[in-house]
Amino acid sequence: MRVERKGIPISSGIALGRVVLLDRSRMIVERTQIDESLIGTEKDRFLQSVRRSKDQLLSIKDKLEPLEGGEHLQILNINIMMLEDELLSDEVLRFIETERVNAEWAVNHILSKKSEAFRKIEDQYMKERLADIYYMGERILRNLHGVAEDIPDLGRDSILVAHDISAVDVVAFAKHNAIGIATDTGASTSHSAIVAKSLGIPTVMGLEDITLRACPGDTIYIDGFRGVAVLDPAPGEQEEFRQRKTSHMALEKKLLEYAKLPGRTLDGCEIKVNANIEIIEELDHAVCYGAEGIGMYRTEFLFTKSDYFPDEEEQYDNYRKVVSALRSPLVTIRTLDIGGDKFPSGMESSQKLNPALGLRGIRFSLRDEPTFRTQIRAILRAAEDKTVRILIPMVSDMAEITETKSIITETAAALGRGGSWQIGVMIETPAAAITASDISGEVDFLSIGTNDLIQYTLAVDRVNEHVSYLYTPFHPAVLRLIKGVIDSAHSNGIPVSVCGEMASQLPCVPLLVGMGVDELSMNTHSIPRVKKLLSTITGKESKEIVGECLRLKTGPEIRRRLSGLLIDKWGDSFPPEFLAEIVSDS
């Protein structure tokens, strides 16, 4: 019977194949009191299971190509290091001895205790650290029980279907030629998701009950762009999906052609089209899809992927790769945007803080000044002969800018790097937007984070299904704020970038161009589309469109009028695949 499910698009691409069900059911653990004479034996059982678990991961790692790196290798190494953690082993061994219990119960107890802090945390980054602990514990328990984790034989066109999947399993199955992944649970920030992206496997997560609906050998279609999975499609549909895959491959070729275009309108307005990246493995995609610079490197994953913050050398190595990846001198590194609920497990967090409006962004960095200074030192060292742009998140007060500039100036002077940096501010709070004229006089550039700016301006949680319909970039308050920020930046002689989702939404691009934005920064896959759109519009007429739209009073009015104007002016020039997005009501 045909079943269609909508989930979370994780890794782009289209796959049509046969279901291979992965069963990683949770091990049932019972507490057993043991005789004192058996304590040594139980400790040995635990240590042997840890060794077996480590050997299994090393075996997977050894199967990778000799020169193959990527986030999947890094995450494998993290899992191996977790198994080498002597503190963890000591806790389990001590619990076996003091409580005189079986090794399975000791492992379950200690890891449950470590997981407790994560369960209280709402931030998705840190929830995924809980997933890593869970996967490690399950591997140790399976080895204690002697349960093999063999990779089933994969034929051609095998698509892995699982309730959940670890990053380790993603790597292992990818090396056994899986062409796609579909899971009941999961999130875009999980290690599993990041590895799937790194390996380029079409993946959809959060499908809720796909494992209950699928049987081994069923035909399944997954669309990693739209986050859709279809089980048992009709024969006619299967042909349509094959054509869709062919069309996708043709579109990819088009995108690679569009990637060669400059960021320039028909009448010569230069707009830098840059990449937002989160992990260094995205740098290759940025180059491939024609990024003219790094408009924002988010450093959160570097800080939250393990239990403790990275030291200066680890950060330096990471930032150096970012700075040297593109020929462009334009590299923007955003300082740490964590706090509130975003803490590695090695640090204490306060459950009293609202994660969205609490101690986060620059507020957190200024509170934890040693960590902030370490990050600034690593960034400035990585700049070497280039000028790196340091972007400060979640600014709402001028005092934060003054204090930050002082720290950067002192650190640069100590390193002898006086002219190797510029400072910019993320405009993502209404306070920052309203005082953009004052802020512009103190910094070298502005970057508008439209995702948070829209959310805070409209008082709408964009992931709350009950109010998400109110979240729109076309609300007149949002557009007027953005226009005011751009005007303020230009009146002070500094450039302004837009780095939120608006920068990659085709109907929004002419609005931003018409407002005078200097740079657009986005996910790598959107860069060629935006470059192509820029090549079909003019700055002069985009400015006229902005004038008409800003006279309207509601978001729906603006959206409808904008669609009409874009089609009237350039409809014949837009690629056919752009039209649906441009005329959509959303």
Average pLDDT over every residue of 460-482: 85
Q: Which 8-state DSSP code applies to residue 184?
A: S
Q: Which residue has the tokens 């874009």?
A: 566
Top-ranked range on mean pLDDT: pick from 43-52, 138-147, 250-259, 507-516: 507-516
Lowest-pLDDT choice from 80-89, 137-146, 343-352, 387-396:
343-352
Give per-residue pLDDT as tens, 565-584: 999 999 999 988 888 888 87
pLDDT of 381 strictly over 90: yes
pLDDT over 70, % of the chain: 86
pTM value surpassing 0.75? no
Lowest mean per-residue pLDDT among 3-17, 147-161, 379-393:
147-161
Helix, strand or coil, per DSSP, at residue 180: strand
Q: Which residue has the higher pLDDT, 345 or 208?
A: 208
Give the pLDDT confidence score for residue 109 in this predicted structure: 85
Report the pLDDT value the prediction gives residue 498, as an integer from 0 to 100.
Answer: 98
Q: Answer yes or no: is pLDDT of 428 > 50.
A: yes
Contact 431, 451 (CB under 8 A): no
Cβ(24)–Cβ(163) under 8 Å?
Answer: yes
pLDDT for residue 418: 75
Please check the confidence at residue 361 and state whether its pLDDT lies above 60: yes
The first and second tokens of residue 34, run together, are: 């043991």
* pLDDT, mean of residues 441-445: 97
Candidates 432, 312, 454, 438; CA nearest to 379 is 312
Task: Give per-residue burial for 203-215: e unless 16+ CB within 10 Å, then b.
Answer: bbbbbeebbebbe
Confidence of residue 341 (pLDDT cuts 50, 70, 90): very low
Question: What band does 122 get if pLDDT is binned at 50, 70 and 90?
Answer: low
296 or 187: which leads in pLDDT: 296
For residue 354, the model assigns a pLDDT of: 47
Return the higher-pLDDT residue of 303 and 18: 18
Alpha carbon 583 to its chain's center:
28
**Residue 150: what pLDDT?**
61
Task: To the nearest 10°, report the CA torsion of 398, 400, 405, 407.
Answer: 160
Of 71-80, 379-388, 406-415, the poorest mean pLDDT is in: 71-80
Q: What is the mean pLDDT of the chain?
A: 85
Q: Is the pLDDT of residue 494 over 80?
A: yes
Residue 168 structure tokens: 């380790």
Burial class of 150 by CB neighbour count within 10 A (0 to 12, 13 to 18, 19+):
exposed
**The pLDDT of residue 564 is above 80:** yes
pLDDT band at 328 (very low <50, low <70, confident <90, very high): confident
Residue 435 has pLDDT above 90, yes or no: yes
pLDDT the model gives residue 344: 47
Length of the chain: 586
pLDDT at 292 over 80: yes
What secondary structure does DSSP assign to 477-540, as a single string?
HHHHHHHHHHHHHHHTT--EEE-SGGGG-TTHHHHHHHHT-SEEEE-GGGHHHHHHHHTTS-HH
Mean pLDDT of 26-50: 87
Query: What pLDDT does residue 221 have?
Result: 95
Please tell me which residue, 466 or 242, carries the higher pLDDT value.
Answer: 242
Band of pLDDT at residue 258, cut at 50, 70 and 90: very high
Sorted by sequence, the CB contacts under 8 Å of residue 467 that are 6+ apart come out as: 460, 461
> Does 280 have pLDDT greater than 60?
yes
pLDDT at 393 over 80: yes
Among 51-55, 116-120, 219-223, 428-432, which stretch is predicted with the lowest mean pLDDT? 116-120
| 110-124, 175-189, 269-283, 448-462: the lowest-pLDDT one | 110-124
Residue 219 has pLDDT above 90, yes or no: yes
The residue among 559, 506, 503, 510 whose CA lies nearest residue 539 is 510
| 388-392/219-223 β-pairing | unpaired
Nearest to 511 by CA among 522, 524, 498, 523: 498
List of domains in the chain:
3-24+150-234 (3.50.30.10), 36-145 (1.10.274.10), 261-501+517-523 (3.20.20.60)
Span 318-330, average pLDDT: 87
Q: How confident is the model at residue 345 (pLDDT cuts 50, 70, 90)?
A: very low
Select from 163, 202, 152 the least CA-distant residue to 179: 202
Return the pLDDT at 183: 93
For 254-272, what is the mean pLDDT? 94
Q: What is the mean pLDDT of residues 398-405?
A: 97
pLDDT category at 39 given cuts 50, 70, 90 is very high
Does pLDDT of 453 surpass 80? yes
Q: Which residues are catalytic?
A: 191, 499
pLDDT at 269: 97
Which percentage of the chain shows pLDDT scores above 90? 50
Encoded amino acid at 406, one letter: S
Please give the pLDDT value at position 284: 84
What is the model's pLDDT at position 283?
86
Among 103-107, 124-128, 361-365, 482-486, name the one with the lowest average pLDDT: 124-128
Section 112-140 average pLDDT = 65
Say what the pLDDT of residue 495 is.
98
Q: DSSP string of 331-395?
A: EEEEPP--BTT---TTS---TTS-TTTSSBTHHHHHHSHHHHHHHHHHHHHHHTTS-EEEEE-S-
pLDDT at 64: 61
In which band, very low, low, confident or very high, does the pLDDT at 417 lie, cut at 50, 70 and 90? confident
SS3 content of the chain, % helix, strand, coil (to 5): 50, 15, 35
**Cβ–Cβ < 8 Å for 453, 459:** no
